[in-house]
Chains A and B, each alone.
Chain A
Amino acid sequence: MLRTLVRLATAAILACAPVAGPAMAQDAPAAEVTPGGALNMIVQPEPPMLIVGLNTQGPTLYVAGQIYQSLLTYDASLNPLPQLAKSWEVSEDGLTYTFSLQEGVKWHDGEPFTSADVVFAATEFLVDAHPRWRLIAEAYVESVTAPDDLTVVFKMKKPFSAFLYGFELSSFPIMPKHIYQGTDYRTNPANSTPIGTGPFKFKEWQRGSFIHLVRNEDYWKDGKPYLDELYFRVIPDAASRSIAFEQGTVDVLRGGDVEGFAIRTLTALPGVESTTAGWEYFSPQMFIQPNLRLEVFADRNIRKAMYHALDRDFIVNAIFFGQGKAARGPFSATTMFHDPDLQQYPFDMDLAKKLVAESGIDLSKHPIRLMGLPYGSTWDRLAEYVKQQLEELGFVVTIQAVDAGGWLQNIGSFNFDLAFNFLYQFGHPAQGVSRNYYSDNIVQGTHAGNNQAYANPEVDALFTKAADAVNQEDAAAAYTQVQEILAEDVPLLWTFDMQNTTIYRDKVKNLVRTAIGLNEPMDDVWIAK
């Protein structure tokens, strides 16, 4: 199923690039696997560390995903798949989750991996250090116990319908108890030599140059991984990264490694394949965040007018080089429970102006600041476009220039009028969507809360009802209802579901297989000789 999806996605892209057409036929059957070889990739930007329990930045996950593992992973439709957990069981009342672990798993230093490590991660390490697990553990988890070496039982305080969807690497990385227990995790000297259970072991990191991983000979899946070595190179300049792929120095480009305009050129090269799959779990969505504390944005009709004034297909196609899809609501199209039949706000400047006129507000009396995202020229173009559209509507807009630190500071202290933002939705609305709308999440000091100050008791109640549901049908009904209310209220202007294109040489096989894409252990990846 997944392979089919990947192929369909590839085919869709290749259809626009006739030169690369024959590459499709070279997809060899599994029997012809040729083991060995080194896979060259780019890690951009260079991660600060590889201890995924302490840092869940994208580049950290990309490299550390080969070293560390979690209990589960997810297929492209977000169904759970086994990883360190062989199987799992959920009790009827939704209050007990029992995971059976794989047998014969060893840490890279030879120590056996057991249920004690999982309990340590769930009750100590991640409670201290992980931004998301901390909250889940506090709100829902009653106890985590290990009846024997290969079984872990999570007892819940109350049902949590998203619980099974938070066990991939970035949400629940399992750290070795024998190395970390009783130490200060952040300053543990072992942090410079990560020890995991994954298919590749840490060999060397020359800061500023490359990270080198080698095959784990004692990996718990027999005969795997196929590859001998992985190199993650640090190449800070985007043009140089394109050159590195063109010249064959690297075999894989992760989404974001090269500029949008380079993607079209590179995917058109012979012997090159690409896919947008492998980001379903993260489903990043970009939105424009109006500060509802301002009188002008508190008016719902003005927000609707602003939404109508933006041509979001133009934004995706002309500004972001087609790397995305216009958003159709608060849930990204690849997030669970996404409702495809919501009220839409197509680009219609006349309608937008009519809505403003009806509201009776003189927009020119409300000058606003627009804070873009400091991630390069593409985002600058977006800010210019939004400014132009809003000025046509009657606003007076000044663009606020910030760097990443300044952006976070302003968003976190509510010092903004209209801001660009994007967040991962982590597959499930309870993990990555509801946090933007809960009225008790209007808190300073984070960029990922309800910073716009939207308060609707009905929305609060529905999100809670869905999260606490025992069965998925109840959750689905509540999520559909909440999407309808949000689509009518437009507290955020959901702009587009972001896509990331993975580009790779066609000799690299089985690269993207799950919803976490390149963060998945590459134990099935091989290079055709």
Chain B
Amino acid sequence: MLSFTLQRIGKAVVVIIGVIILNFLLIKLAPGDPAAILAGEAGSGDPQYLENLRAQFGLDRPVPVQLWNYLSGVLTGDLGFSYRNQVPVLSLILERLPATLLLTGAAFAFSLATGVLFGVMAARYRGSALDSIITTLALVFYATPLFWIALMSVLLFSINLGWLPPFDMETIGAGYTGWRRALDIAHHLILPAVTLGLFYTAVYTRLTRASMLEVMGLDFVKTARAKGVPNKRIIRRHVLRNAVLPVFTFASMQAGQLVGGAILTETVFAWPGIGRLMFDALMQRDYPVLLGVFLVTAIVVVIVNFIADLLYRIVDPRIGIA
């Protein structure tokens, strides 16, 4: 177990350094640079001014030197300084990370819970009207683009019905604290989290249903039924327990997107998360911020994979660590 952990950590470090180098070089391939973009937005800027900016950003040095400076900075915990915002990258990322984790975490929990529930119900009542309704809805949400669902849900729930706020993470200027604030944030969280989670709800529903139906036909289920085990118990202990593995695999993939997977949702709902920080940094060629977000994303993916590998053993004891 210990050697497994050490081995995985060693691999993870190599992967992350590889990711940094690859990202750094890829970003350098994009045309344009942050100095030109700053000048472009200001509507003026002569070449000497741009040269000064580049020198201040360290962009006048050769690319290998820039890469080395960045790498050695990262290894000592310094993610650099944002060209545009003139603040340390780490503080920009830490400021925005909680909002994204709250949103994607809520969406993750929502889609996993509802997906498995609907999948079990559809499998349990296969061929019934309920099954048709669930599978049809799952297909619809599986196939509909996220932004469209987002816009339509704003139209319905915020504008027509007035139940839910259409954007923002909390009521700005209300000055709530404590539980009142938590409730306010939860109220604002419903629309974006559900919108973001619906696609995965559909995926889990379909996966759970298919997998359940497959297990239901196996001999040990017949045996359990012949033994007189109550139906509910068969579904829960015998079928679901054996059918959950593909769902788990997919859930670990969704968990890998906890940091980077919500750009669209964050944009439509004005959610102050890290996806928007990344998108803005990309458009504005703010390399240090972009690299910082990529790094955090890579670390989260590596950690999630590691946890998932450990959990496989609990979900299915037949799987050993290799």
Contacts and interface: CB of A to CB of B under 8 A. Distances in A.
Contacts of B38: 55, 57
Interface in A137-172: none
Contacts of B151: 239
Interface string A32-55: 000000101000011011010011
A56 interface: yes
A56 to B, nearest CB: 4
B288 to A, nearest CB: 13
Interface stretch (A3-11, A92-100, A184-192, A216-224): A184-192
A513 B52 CA distance: 36
B113 interface: no
A186 B272 contact: no
Contacts of B41: 57-58
A209 B188 CA distance: 13
A449 interface: yes
Interface in B16-71: 30-33, 36-52, 56
Nearest to A134: B49
B99 A405 contact: no
B7 interface: no
Contact of A448 (B32, B37, B43, B166): B43
Contact of B96 (A58, A128, A207, A445): A207
Contact of B46 (A131, A234, A244): A131
A135 B46 contact: yes
A240 B43 contact: no
A48 B85 contact: yes
Contacts of A208: 96, 99, 271-273, 276-277
B276 A191 contact: no
Given A131-B42, A187-B86, A445 B47 contact: yes
Contact of B31 (A45, A409, A423, A447): A409
B47 A443 contact: yes
Interface residues of B, number: 56
Given A236-B270, A239-B151, A448-B45, A405 B31 contact: yes
A209 B169 contact: yes
A129 to B, nearest CB: 9
B272 A234 contact: yes
A209 B168 contact: yes
Contacts of A237: 167, 267-270
Contacts of B49: 131, 134
A408 B36 contact: yes
A404 interface: yes
Given A236-B270, A236-B276, A404 B44 contact: no
Contacts of B276: 208, 236
Nearest to B267: A236
Nearest to B95: A207
Interface string A115-128: 00000000000001
Contacts of B300: none
Nearest to B49: A131
Interface string B281-305: 0011100000000000000000000
Interface residues of A, number: 59
B159 A446 contact: no
Contacts of A195: none
Nearest to A209: B272
Residue of B42, B44, B266 most packed against chain A (CB within 10 A)? B44
Nearest to A240: B167
Interface string A224-261: 00000101011111011001100100000000000000
A405 B270 contact: no
Contacts of B45: 131, 446, 448
Contacts of B268: 237, 239-240
A38 B159 contact: no
Contacts of B82: 48
Interface string B123-161: 000000000000000000000000000010010001100
B46 A186 contact: no
Interface string A400-425: 00111111111010000000000110
A48 B84 contact: yes
Interface string A174-194: 000000000000110001100
A210 interface: yes
B280 interface: yes
A91 interface: no
Nearest to B268: A237
A184 B176 CA distance: 38
A439 interface: no
A405 B285 contact: yes
Contacts of B77: none
A258 to B, nearest CB: 14
Residue of A46, A187, A191, A236 most packed against chain B (CB within 10 A)? A236
A229 B173 contact: yes
A186 to B, nearest CB: 6
Contacts of B84: 48-49
A48 B92 CA distance: 11
Contact of B44 (A231, A243, A443, A448): A448
In order of increasing CB-CB distance, the 4 nearest A-B pairs are A405-B32, A208-B272, A48-B84, A445-B47
Interface of A: 38, 40, 45-46, 48-49, 51, 54-58, 128, 131-132, 134-135, 186-187, 191-192, 206-210, 212, 229, 231, 233-237, 239-240, 243-244, 247, 402-410, 412, 423-424, 435, 443-449
20 contacts: A55-B38, A55-B42, A131-B39, A132-B44, A191-B87, A207-B92, A207-B95, A207-B96, A208-B273, A209-B272, A233-B270, A236-B266, A247-B159, A403-B283, A406-B32, A409-B31, A409-B36, A412-B36, A448-B43, A449-B46
